[in-house]
Amino acid sequence: MPKSRIRKKEDFTPPPEKKATEINLGATGGRWVAPLMLAMFLIGLAWIVLFYVTESKLPIESIKSWNIVVGFGFIAAGFVVSTQWK
C-alpha cells in the first residue's frame, strides 16, 4: 500500500490590522444641533424656575400659568432638535 503524502502546513499569517474609523458626531446634523438643543433645555428650565421663584410675576405676568406651558414648549423644542443630532 502506498504511503500518503504529508502536507506541510503553511505558516500563520495574521490578518492585516484594522485602522480605527473616525467618528464625526454632528457631521450630518451640523455643529449647531447640540448647542441649540442644550440651550432650549436650559431656557425652558429657567423659564419654569423663574415662574415659580417669582410667584408668577415673571417672565410674563399676563399669561399666568401658561408660563409653564411655554417652558415645557422650549424643552419639547429641545427634544425635537435632538432628533437632528447624528
pLDDT in tens, 51-74: 999 998 888 889 989 999 999 999
Cβ distance 44 to 78 under 8 Å? Answer: yes
Binned at pLDDT 50, 70 and 90, residue 75 comes out as very high
Output 7 or 42, whichever has higher pLDDT. 42
Cell of 71: 417652558
**Range 29-40 average pLDDT:** 89
Please give the model's pTM, rounded to 2 decimal places: 0.64
Q: How far apart are the first and last CA of the chain?
A: 69
DSSP state of 86: -
